[in-house]
Amino acid sequence: MRELFLVDETEEDGWQERALCAQTDPEAFFPEKGGSTREAKKVCLTCEVQTDCLEYALGNDERFGIWGGLSERERRKLKKRAV
């Protein structure tokens, strides 16, 4: 007999509910071109799910905003170094 395992997607993405950015102005994490990312990155530094957030962004090719404390450009550089 085959066993069936149900995957609870809410558990996998549960980190998003614990993210400090969920309690902050979202516009800080998606600044206009040339806008400051300082405040968003400051929030990320103290966030308990920073690593989960960055892994999500890298795994889902997020191209906009601050994720895991890194900008799009910083994530691109990180990906290039990993190759």
Q: Is 53 assigned to a binding site?
A: yes
- Crossing angle of helices 50-59 and 38-45, in 10° steps, is 120
Q: Is 44 assigned to a binding site?
A: yes
Q: Is 21 assigned to a binding site?
A: yes
User: What distance in Å separates the CA atoms of residue 24 and residue 22, rounded to the nearest whole number?
Assistant: 6
Q: Is 64 assigned to a binding site?
A: no
User: What distance in Å separates the CA atoms of residue 44 and residue 75, rounded to the nearest whole number?
Assistant: 14
Q: Write out the binding residues for [4Fe-4S] cluster.
A: 21, 44, 47, 53
Q: Write out the binding residues.
A: 21, 44, 47, 53
